[in-house]
Structures are given as structure tokens and as C-alpha cells.
């Protein structure tokens, strides 16, 4: 609350404490941690770098506590509870949505929580126990996880305006991208994967590209593309290619198809709703 309001007095009022009491608690917290968490000046308080880290960890701890409490709250009813699923942006989410639709019809007390993000963010939450499952798109390393392939392939391509001269092409080759301002997904240009399909496709031409920035969710990149700032490298079937849309999509050539998988931690102890979800998914994929 102190970080949110930027003022100890306001935070104390919200929390129904006196200002001196809250100030003493803050100093005690800093003493326990051996770190300065706050910068105090001119009736305004901000977080230090250590304070930002502590706030992030505290929010994760509270979220995990709430998730644990909910699991015990519904532990006597195997057909009630919460399932937390993280997902990258992929058309394969339709498979998951059909599972959710079916379970929701049969077990209305089961609630689903979908968190969007890229693989780096989602796996961090999965590792901390904040998610039950993650839907990931290649490139990824699944050595430390259990997983199921969703038997779906997404295709890499270029999102651009329909009035662009590239609209005359059926495919986009590497030379078509030279001198075009590009936005690209932040995870696919990382060199931390041994087999990165998009980097392999670039070959020795990466330095010839005018990459003006990165994104982790395609919608914002699509807005920038629509406003003639750039073109966006991304996956097919994510931005609607309708008659009214000013944007269109063309696949890269040679074609880049990437797998989509749903993953969970090894030796994961699932709640009853999560077990039902996984069993339904396994039966569907068979």
C-alpha cells in the first residue's frame, strides 16, 4: 500500500493504522532484511531497486498463499476449485477452450484463470507454483517438465497493412525484410535455445534487418503496424484478417512451422480439478 500510494500517511489511513505505527513497521522490515527498501523525500516515498524486488516477491507470495487456501477450501469437493493456465498467443488455445467448455458444462464449480504472456514469464510463474499448466510455442526447452504436444502447428509470417506493396506477394522471403522497420517477439531472437527456428531462418542476415523493437503480446504490435510505424513478425491466425481489417498476413518462405505444447512441473501434485482437466485433455488428444 505504501508503494501504491507513494505516501506513508495515506497508506496508514487505508490500512487503519497510525502513521507512526506504519513507519516503525517499515523501518523494522528494512532492518530485518538488511536493505534499504524506500527512498523518503518531500512527503513522497518511492521504492529502491531492492524495494521493487521485495514488492514483486511479496505479491507472488500472497498470490501463492491465496492459491493454496483455495485448494484447501475446495478439497472436500473434487468437482470444485480453480485451475490456473498460462498461455502464449496461439491459435491452439482453441483446443484448451473446448476442454474448458466441456468441463464448465459438467462441473460448473470449477473456475478457470487464463494468464497471457511469453514463455519466460509463464515458466517463471509455473516454477513458483502460481500456474498449474503452461501452453508454450517453440522455441522452448522442456527437459525439466512434463508435457503433451497439442498436435498443432503455428506458422511464422509477417503482419503488415493491406495497402503495403508486400500485399502482392504470397510469401515473404528474407530479402523482402531488408530496410523494413520490424517488431519481433522478444523470446524468438534470444540465443539461449540450441534450435531457434526463426534465428535459423534469418541465418547470417540478422544484422541486415531493421529491428526497431520487440513485443511479448501481438496486439500492441498490430496497433503499431496499423499506424504505419512498422511491420510485425509473428504467428498466423492471431490478428483477424477480415474485410474490415487494414492488416493482412503472409507466411515466411521457406515455411517455418512451430509446435505447441502444454507443460507442467515434474512430480506436480495436482488439485482434483487440475487432474480432471489433464485427463480430459489426454482423452481429447488421443
Per-residue pLDDT tens over the stretch 54-90: 999 999 899 888 888 877 877 677 788 999 999 999 9
For residue 215, the tally of other CB atoms under 10 A from its CB is 18
In the predicted structure, residue 279 carries a pLDDT above the cut 60? yes
The pLDDT assigned to 74 comes to 73
The pLDDT assigned to 42 comes to 79
The model's pTM? 0.79
Q: CA–CA distance from 215 to each of 78, 221, 223, 238 (Å)?
A: 39, 7, 12, 14
The pLDDT assigned to 208 comes to 92
Q: Tell me what percent of the residues of the chain surpass a pLDDT of 90.
A: 70
Q: CA–CA distance from 129 to each of 71, 77, 149, 185 (Å)?
A: 12, 21, 22, 26
How many Cα atoms within 13 Å fall on the side-chain side of residue 117?
A: 15
Q: Is 129 left (phi over 0), alpha (psi -120 to 50) or beta?
A: left
Residue 203: partners with Cβ closer than 8 Å, 6 or more residues away = 174
First to last CA, the chain: 49
Separation of alpha carbons 185 and 154, rounded Å: 14
Least confident of 19-33, 90-104, 138-152, 228-242: 228-242
What's the angle, vertex CA 81, arms to CA 80 and CA 85, rounded to 5? Answer: 130
Give all domains of the chain, ordered by start, each with its CATH number. Answer: 2-71 (1.10.10.10), 78-150+260-285 (3.40.190.10), 152-258 (3.40.190.10)
Residue 94: partners with Cβ closer than 8 Å, 6 or more residues away = none
User: Which whole number is the average pLDDT over 171-181?
Assistant: 95
Amino acid at each position: 500500500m505504501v508503494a501504491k500510494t507513494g505516501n506513508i500517511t495515506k497508506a496508514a489511513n487505508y490500512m487503519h493504522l497510525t502513521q507512526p505505527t506504519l513507519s516503525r513497521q517499515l523501518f523494522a522490515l528494512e532492518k530485518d532484511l538488511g536493505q534499504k527498501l524506500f527512498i523518503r523525500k518531500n512527503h513522497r516515498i518511492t521504492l529502491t531497486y531492492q524495494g521493487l524486488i521485495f514488492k514483486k516477491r511479496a505479491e507472488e507470495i500472497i498470490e501463492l498463499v491465496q492459491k493454496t487456501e483455495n485448494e484447501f477450501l475446495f478439497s472436500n469437493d473434487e468437482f470444485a476449485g480453480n485451475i490456473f493456465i498460462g498461455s502464449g498467443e496461439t491459435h491452439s488455445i482453441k483446443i484448451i477452450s473446448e476442454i474448458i467448455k466441456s468441463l464448465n458444462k459438467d462441473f460448473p464449480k470449477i473456475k478457470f484463470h487464463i494468464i497471457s504472456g511469453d514463455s519466460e514469464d509463464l515458466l517463471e510463474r509455473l516454477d513458483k507454483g502460481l500456474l498449474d499448466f503452461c501452453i508454450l510455442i517453440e522455441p522452448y526447452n522442456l527437459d525439466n517438465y512434463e508435457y503433451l504436444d497439442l498436435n498443432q502447428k503455428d506458422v511464422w509470417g509477417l503482419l503488415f497493412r493491406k495497402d503495403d506493396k508486400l500485399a502482392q506477394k504470397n510469401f515473404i522471403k528474407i530479402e523482402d525484410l531488408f530496410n523494413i522497420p520490424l517488431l519481433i517477439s522478444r523470446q524468438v531472437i534470444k540465443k539461449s535455445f540450441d534450435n531457434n527456428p526463426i534465428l535459423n531462418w534469418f541465418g547470417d542476415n540478422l544484422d541486415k534487418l531493421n529491428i526497431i523493437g520487440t513485443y511479448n503480446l501481438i496486439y500492441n504490435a498490430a496497433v503499431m503496424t496499423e499506424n504505419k510505424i512498422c511491420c510485425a513478425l509473428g504467428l498466423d491466425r492471431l490478428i483477424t484478417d477480415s474485410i474490415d481489417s487494414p492488416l493482412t498476413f503472409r507466411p515466411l518462405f521457406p515455411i517455418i512451422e512451430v509446435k505447441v505444447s502444454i507443460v507442467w512441473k515434474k512430480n506436480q501434485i495436482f488439485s482434483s480439478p487440475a487432474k480432471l482437466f489433464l485427463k480430459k485433455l489426454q482423452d481429447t488428444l488421443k
